[in-house]
Structure 1
Amino acid sequence: MFSFLTSMAVIAATLGHALAETHTVHFTNNCRFGTPTLIQGGRVLSTGGDYTQNGALLGAIAYLQTGGCGFNGEGCTLVELSLTNGFSSADISLIPPHAFSVTSGFGYYNGCDGAGTDCKEPNCPEAFEHPDETYKQVGCSAPNCNIAITFCD
């Protein structure tokens, strides 16, 4: 009986781990200045290192802090993201008070590889300039997808 219960506990733990949702945000800063910053709900999650979330990562923002950005990326190019199993979404925002600061881009990996976008100029057509431009969001339905954000590509 003990070995049966032990076996069931091991199986349950293994299944629980296999079904766990996890997402990673990876930064590449080619600018040679600034600090990649990832924020969610007023809390700094990363200042350049990979950040892994066990569970969904909803309503996060990322930008390159150049010294001229506000805490929520005001005055700078903003990457908005929500990573969740079933439907992840990311976009680049230049909606005021955000403004072009450095070339910024993102791409999914470990699912939806190759899906993403870049903003290489102040008037980049890929970026949100008005809140109703939801068609500029890039989605991914793969479970446990990750995102790579690059500055100065």
Structure 2
Amino acid sequence: MFSFTKIILTFASVVALVAAESHTIHFDNRCGHGTPTLISQTGQVLSTGADYVSPGALFGAIAYLQTGSCGFNGDYCTTIETTLRSPPSPGAGSSTDITLIYPHTFSVTTGFGYYNGCDGAGADCTGANCNTAFHNPEDTWVQVACQQNNVNLAITFCA
């Protein structure tokens, strides 16, 4: 026989599972070559093309298309930097950008867009002089923020 306490604890457990933070990064490689690569802030390879599901916030990850000329952290290639997190306070949610700050350089057309929240927000870089990428550390206006819980990110190469 269930007690009232067991019912309340079961309900609380279900609510906690439903409220858990999660983010997915999806790759769409239209180049016909190369390997989409996602690296954690601590230098761990998180994905080489498959969807990556973060079971919580993801801080300072980098993504790029490994074409054979990229360094481990995307050096010498176009790189996307992202933090995906449900905002713990106003303005402290997700932020994603494209970087061409040396040693990163333009390698392939690269873009990103949020989905499951902030749909339509993102950026594309189609050439070495694109105005949607960091070229120096002061280019902070190119960061694309999202203040939605559990937002996901799609990254596209050669679109």
- Shorter-chain TM-score: which interval? over 0.9
1:53-107 CA distances to partner (integer Å, 9 max, x unpaired)? 1110000000000000000000000000000011100000000000000000000
**Residue 39 of structure 2 aligns with which residue?**
39
3-state SS of the aligned residue for 2:132?
coil
Question: Residue 131 in 1 paired to residue 137 in 2?
Answer: yes
4+ residue segments displaced more than 6 Å: none
Aligned length, in residue pairs: 153
3-state SS of the aligned residue for 1:71?
coil
Distance 2:47 2:13 in 1: 29
3-state SS of the aligned residue for 2:134?
coil
AA in 1 matched with 2:65: L
AA in 1 matched with 2:50: G
**Residue 5 of structure 1 aligns with which residue?**
5
**Deviation at 1:5?**
2.8
- State percent identity of aligned pairs: 59
**Residue 50 of structure 1 aligns with which residue?**
51
Q: RMSD of the alignment, in Å? A: 1.0
**Deviation at 1:4?**
1.8
Distance 1:54 1:4 in 2: 31
AA in 1 matched with 2:48: T
AA in 1 matched with 2:61: A
Q: Unaligned regions of 5+ residues in structure 1, if any?
A: none
**Deviation at 1:2?**
3.7
**Residue 26 of structure 1 aligns with which residue?**
26
**Residue 71 of structure 2 aligns with which residue?**
70
**Residue 148 of structure 1 aligns with which residue?**
154
Distance 2:3 2:28 in 1: 49
AA in 1 matched with 2:17: H
**TM-score, length-scaled by structure 2:** 0.94
